Amino acid sequence: FDAIAINFGLFGKESTEALLAALKERLLPGGRIFIQTLHPFGLAEQGAPYLSHWETDSWNGLKGEYTEPHRWYYRTMGDWVGLFARLGFSMQELREPVNPKSGKPLSLVFVVG
């Protein structure tokens, strides 16, 4: 592939590493993976410790009758960068879209290749 996009779809710990390793093998030379994910500062700002850990979240605000919470693996910025380095990716770009009203980051966009 020339390009692969993952939009808020990496919620596991080992599964994220396994998926990225498999996708790396399928990238053409010069290809890029675009990953948009939750900004790690957002959860820390809500009082959670700034360390990688499993987080349980609810489906509040979404349509539907959800009864069970979902879990996702929260990574710090350093752990994201370390994961990419372990897998042999090089960071091509990092973007941090910001809410224009609050001035706070909305998400992270990694571009790795």
Question: What's the whole-model pTM score?
Answer: 0.88
Quick check: 112 and 31 in contact, CB under 8 A?
Answer: no
58 pLDDT higher than 70 = no
67 pLDDT higher than 70 = yes
**What pLDDT digit, counting tens, does each position of 11-57 carry?**
999 999 999 999 999 999 999 999 999 998 888 888 888 999 998 87
Instruction: Choose among 52, 40, 30, 42: nearest CA to 94.
Output: 40
Instruction: Choose among 36, 7, 10: nearest CA to 21.
Output: 10
Could you tell me the CA-to-CA distances from 60 to 10, 51, 68, 101, 108 in Å, in that order?
20, 24, 11, 23, 22
Nearest-angstrom CA–CA distance, 23 and 45: 32
Nearest-angstrom CA–CA distance, 33 and 111: 6
Instruction: Choose among 85, 74, 57: nearest CA to 108.
Output: 74
Q: List, in order of start, the domains of the chain with CATH numbers.
A: 3-112 (3.40.50.150)
Quick check: 36 and 108 in contact, CB under 8 A?
Answer: yes
Q: Identify the residue whose tokens are 């993976």.
A: 33
Amino acid 24: pLDDT: 98
Indicate the DSSP class of residue 28: P
